[in-house]
Amino acid sequence: MPSTHKRDKPWDTEDTDKWREEPFQPSDNAAGTFTEESSFATLFPKYREVYLREAWPLITRSLTSHHIACTLDLIEGSMAVRTTRRTYDPASILNARDLIKLLSRSVPAPQAVKILEDGVACDIIKIRNLVRNKERFIKRRQRILGPNGSTLKALELLTGCYILVQGNTVSAMGSYKGLKEVRRVVEDCMANVHPIYHIKELMIKRELMKDPELANENWERFLPHFKKENTKQEKEAIQGY
């Protein structure tokens, strides 16, 4: 005779999302202390000093809620974070490390503190060493922004990530899937592949995701394929090199 006992465990229900990550609670680390103190520090440019001094109360409040201590050293031009006796989440110090890195890369404080939330990651892409010629580097970096920032805005909407192009780096915040797309677009742009091609591809993928009949099919036949062709002048330059 089949059992009529109701399943009262949440992981036994069929509608439970088994891939969802549960937030880390203080009860998950009953001891509440670590055997060693963990700390990270990073330098920031001189022009960020005034802004960081004004935004530091917000940063301090955000880190204190996660039981992370922070220090702003204006003499040495550095920021530091460290665990305390009340720190219970091992990942919080790593998020705090990413926070000060983003702040040093000119990410605004209200946006940077979002890295402390679950499900938000960051990626700092160094682009200066990808292009040797300085003028070529500036032109290709400008392609990421586009006219009046339109290309950058389109990338943010399609990837669901916050993107900041500043100096020799591109800072991005969002999901891991979105960050992977952002890095691919940025690195290809530095390799002379215009971001508009990737934007078209991402738009096509978004439309294909809406069709349940195509969910389990290969999308390669729908996606555009672009091949880089060397012009006659480029071929002559290569041969004469």
Start and end residues for every CATH 3.30.1370.10 domain found in the chain: 26-118, 119-241
Q: How far lies 41's CA from each of 88, 168, 231, in Å?
A: 20, 20, 48
Q: What is the mean pLDDT of the chain?
A: 81
Identify the residue whose tokens are 């062709």.
229
Q: Mean per-residue pLDDT for 26-53?
A: 82
Higher confidence at residue 51 or residue 11? 51
At residue 20, the pLDDT reads 62
CATH 1.10.1530.10 at 119-241, yes or no: no
Exposed, middle or buried: residue 167 (CB in 10 Å: 0-12, 13-18, 19+)? exposed
Higher confidence at residue 239 or residue 134? 134
Architecture, CATH, for domain 26-118: 2-Layer Sandwich (3.30)
Spatial CB neighbours of 22, under 8 Å, sequence gap ≥ 6: none
How far is residue 78's CA from residue 49's CA, in Å, rounded to a whole number?
A: 10
At residue 199, the pLDDT reads 87
- pTM, entire model: 0.77
At residue 40, the pLDDT reads 95
Least confident of 4-18, 90-104, 171-185, 215-229: 4-18
